Amino acid sequence: MKNVIKIGFLALSFGIFAVACGGAKTETNTDSTATAASSAIDSAAKASTNAVDSVAAAAKATVDSAAKTVDSAAAHH
């Protein structure tokens, strides 16, 4: 009688384990909040990169024109 109870308990615990694990079922859900946040972050990063690039280009042009002025002044002396 004890062996029947042990086997029944083992079968029950294996059944509960199989149900709790989902039976190797795979679910592929996407997180819409994470997707929206990611796209917002990407667009903000692109906008800031464009702003930084335009400021860097303007600064480089200013430095280059100042360097040309200094070079031409040094060449005259």
Asked whether residue 11 is domain-assigned, the answer is: no
Asked whether residue 55 is domain-assigned, the answer is: yes
Domain containing 59 equals 47-77
Asked whether residue 74 is domain-assigned, the answer is: yes
The reported pLDDT for the residue numbered 49 is: 86
Residue-wise pLDDT for 11-54, tens only, equals: 888 888 877 766 556 666 666 777 777 888 888 888 888 888 88
- The total number of structural domains that make up the chain: 1
Asked whether residue 36 is domain-assigned, the answer is: no
Determine the residue type at 1: M
DSSP codes of every residue in 21-62? TGGG-------HHHHHHHHHHHHHHHHHHHHHHHHHHHHHHH
Asked whether residue 6 is domain-assigned, the answer is: no
Asked whether residue 24 is domain-assigned, the answer is: no
Asked whether residue 72 is domain-assigned, the answer is: yes
